[in-house]
Structure 1
């Protein structure tokens, strides 16, 4: 053990391509689990009769016994251990799923604590440590949960339990409490996307059925996001939590509470600043648009927030921002558009001027949107002077012919909207360019004279004679 411990660091030092070595390590542990509580000897479970084979009076008691039996955990990293008992538990879980789906009258008061105990014992665990510094979710394969054959059925059982017509939140709230929800939210950091998808459904059902837990759930999601943005920049389940929030925001009553508006400005908008935005941007943009559809007066602070976090060096993120901005403009009210049009189109002008053709292309596609075009036409006297210089210059200089063609179409549209202003701006632009060229020539002439004078002084210093 000691020799292995001493040689490992030297291997990392020698390997100049650390990401490759990390990927190999991750491939070796493509499946991981910290769920199993170690056992000294093989696990033996007493095989109980099937629920369908006993009388209706005996079923509730047998159901509880099977729940207790399913609290037993197995080591799935050891693929050869307890094969028979693993299969027995899997078949029992399948039976329990069918039972809660099809049966009636099984949900007695004694059932609730046993169900929550069995679910808790199986799903709540310390997650395997993540290589957060080196792991790239866009490139690297996630670590899958080795015990998924059982875990999947546990989640399916719990979802069917929560969706049962006989489910009584008034009884269940004693067991599905804040502590339970907190542990559930921690599991959203699982790298296994299958588990996060199940967790999303479970949390959504709990939010819908337990009114007393709603504020707590929102607060804890708030805390997770703040920690993600300002501390760790690592949390696997941001997209899933945002998807749940999209449904929650859609159900907010009007007028919006101050806490909801603060959540938008202080939590959702700063999520745009993280490096891994691409992993959850679609869900984030949906949440933002939901807020604006609820309360159009939030449009100005939202767009100002987007402009504040606008990426300066990452073209991929800039394209995403432009896409989100178009979604916002699709629902913006004309009165709100007027308030932010100058700031907005100054940024769009910068994007059109971008040497990265995808950024320029995405910005120019705004002119293919009928609603945005109607807003631009109504306010062309403000927008055209902001955009004209960038468009005219890039139409002559851009390296990509496709961009030049798009700009030509935009200039043509502007000319049709307001030909008088267009002609005036074109004349002003040309005269400004002539003045700039004249200044450039004067500057060049001055530098040439200074260089000649310096040369003459150099000759005078060396020969003592000024040439005629």
Structure 2
């Protein structure tokens, strides 16, 4: 942590936390509790409390007034003719979102959903022909309802790995197994994985959870590889996100992950380079050296970031771009790192 007081900031004593009175609800705190209070950042806790209140009141959650989920038969125990229908039923059950901030609410339903997701992952991975045309819309609908949401504003506190619903990771895992399955057909999937779906995925790259961003990176890379009709759209939207980050917001959590995706994309560019690709390098990629928060994503993906530029030069894709690369680096780098000037 850096000293936010700046040079010459005066030293002062932080008063000890109150262990009794109104600040503690009228209760006398024990010695252990007193030690715990010492470690509390009131601003961080206040922000987290506000976020939790927003989440508890979210309309996404399955209301308590509705009945609990029903335990269904195991897919492997059902006759082969009934397994596809059972898969659809379980996918529909997994569309329900539960409030995991309430540890005692709907425990049965939460466990049924978790078990169903694990079972579906195993079924899609191990059973040949498990992915039929009928389950495509149900998978996309289930994934959309679970992962697409309005991300809470950053409260400048450290990320809490327990913030998101515990089953979210299982949903991403199921979607990845679905996309990577030998049974997956892009000709069928393109009916449901469209530009709107991709836009919603890209919005999630601003998540504070690095685990979620890592899943998103892999998912988007698989979609880019399987859906040729979406490739130009994905590149264009990533360009727009970078331009907004550099020239408008100066804040975006997923820069590193998107750069890793672009590292693979650029390596696949055919010769001669299209004008679109040259413009991307000069107008979008190189200005990423400009933001003050460069170090946050440069340290994360320095190898990949260097790879992006090297793709144009080391691979001899277009050596005429070399002067523009050096001019841009000399222009932008000193603004964020004077030691390099």
Same fold (TM over 0.5): yes
8 Å Cα contact 2:148/2:201 also seen in 1? yes
Find the aligned partners of 2:107 and 2:235 in 1 and give their Cα distance.
42
8 Å Cα contact 1:42/1:81 also seen in 2? no
Partner of 2:99: 75
2:260 to 243, 264, 289: 243
Higher helix share: 1
Gaps of 5+ in 2: 1-40
Q: Does 1:187 align with 2:208?
A: no
Larger radius of gyration: 1
User: What displacement does 1:175 show?
Assistant: 0.3
Find the aligned partners of 1:251 and 1:298 in 2 and give their Cα distance.
18
User: What displacement does 1:146 show?
Assistant: 3.1
2:308 to 279, 287, 302: 287
8 Å Cα contact 1:188/1:196 also seen in 2? yes
Partner of 1:442: none
TM-score where L is the length of structure 1: 0.59
Count of aligned pairs between the two proteins: 292
User: What displacement does 1:38 show?
Assistant: 5.6
Partner of 1:297: 320
Partner of 1:164: 181
1:308 to 331, 335, 340: 331
What CA RMSD, in Å, does the superposition of the two structures yield over aligned residues?
2.1
User: What displacement does 1:54 show?
Assistant: 0.8
Q: Does 1:37 align with 2:61?
A: yes
Instruction: Decide whether aligned partners of structure 1 residues 239 and 199 sit closer, same or farther in structure 2, where only a CA change above 3 A counts.
Output: same
Find the aligned partners of 1:149 and 1:273 in 2 and give their Cα distance.
37
8 Å Cα contact 1:269/1:302 also seen in 2? yes
Aligned to 1:128, the other structure's residue is in SS state coil
Find the aligned partners of 2:306 and 2:165 in 1 and give their Cα distance.
32
Q: Deviations over 1:185-234 (max 9, x none)?
A: 00111111111110011000000000000000000001111111111111
User: What displacement does 1:42 show?
Assistant: 5.7
Q: Does 1:95 align with 2:116?
A: no
User: What displacement does 1:299 show?
Assistant: 1.5
Find the aligned partners of 2:107 and 2:176 in 1 and give their Cα distance.
27
Partner of 1:432: none
Find the aligned partners of 1:35 and 1:271 in 2 and give their Cα distance.
38
User: What displacement does 1:56 show?
Assistant: 1.2
Partner of 1:149: 166
Find the aligned partners of 2:338 and 2:104 in 1 and give their Cα distance.
50
Find the aligned partners of 1:27 and 1:145 in 2 and give their Cα distance.
11
TM-score where L is the length of structure 2: 0.80
Q: Deviations over 1:264-300 (max 9, x none)?
A: 1101111111111112211433322223233232211
Aligned to 1:98, the other structure's residue is in SS state helix
Find the aligned partners of 1:252 and 1:148 in 2 and give their Cα distance.
39
Find the aligned partners of 1:184 and 1:35 in 2 and give their Cα distance.
21
8 Å Cα contact 1:268/1:284 also seen in 2? no
User: What displacement does 1:29 show?
Assistant: 6.7
Find the aligned partners of 1:35 and 1:195 in 2 and give their Cα distance.
22
8 Å Cα contact 2:98/2:110 also seen in 1? yes
Find the aligned partners of 2:257 and 2:51 in 1 and give their Cα distance.
22
